[in-house]
Amino acid sequence: MRKAGTVLTLGLFLLMACQRGTANPTGPTMATPITMGLTTGIPAPEFELERLDGGTVRLRDLQGKVVLLNFWASWCVPCREEMPLLASIYRDYHAQGLEILGINLTSQDDFGEVRKFVEEFDPPFPILLDPNGRAERDYRIFGVPTTVFITREGIVHRVKVGILKGREDVEQTIRPLLGLR
């Protein structure tokens, strides 16, 4: 009986893990749960984080903008792969009201490697540091990269765990949020 219980528990865990990135990308009408992760349709958790280049950023100061939070680490290969895409999206949509914030999981990273990563990719958007892991916990990050799309009203619209599937994937989410066709 104990073995059957263990198998059942493992099966449920695997089912939940497969569902964790299934947020409704077209916009929920009510809270849509992501198992083990952040829930869509709720206010985005507030944070104030230090910028790598100095100063701080508070999420509440970005009210009225569409915000894309990208949680990353320098040792994450998929994070390296998607950074050029994020830079391109930022350049193309920033003037329309898109803000991208790269949030480094500093509590799990080496600061020297973070600097090297940023020097290599030179992202045009702010890089924020999360040295105590508070934003990571508040956003229930359990894998990187994780990208959180937030509406102009500060509501979590979509959570994508894992690498973004390309420009079209991102644009299908952000263009309607920005009021673009």
Model pTM? 0.81
Topology of domain 2-178 in CATH is Glutaredoxin (3.40.30)
Domain ranges of the chain: 2-178
Strand partners, 10: none
Element (H, E) at 102: strand 98-104
Single-letter code of the amino acid located at 81: E
pLDDT (tens digit, 9 = 90+) per residue, 125-181? 999 999 999 999 999 999 999 999 999 999 999 999 999 999 999 999 999 999 998
pLDDT of amino acid 140: 96
Specify whether the backbone of 56 is left (phi greater than 0), alpha (psi in -120 to 50) or beta: beta
Write out pLDDT tens, residues 81-102: 999 999 999 999 999 999 999 9
In three-state secondary structure terms, 152 is coil
The pLDDT assigned to 37 comes to 80
Candidate from 28-37, 40-49, 58-67, 88-97 with smallest mean pLDDT: 28-37
% residues pLDDT > 90 (the chain): 78
CA distance 121 to 86: 11
The pLDDT of residue 71 is above 50: yes
Listed residue (110, 93, 76, 56) closest to 180, CA to CA: 93
* pLDDT tens-digit map of 1-37: 444 444 444 333 333 333 333 333 333 333 333 446 8
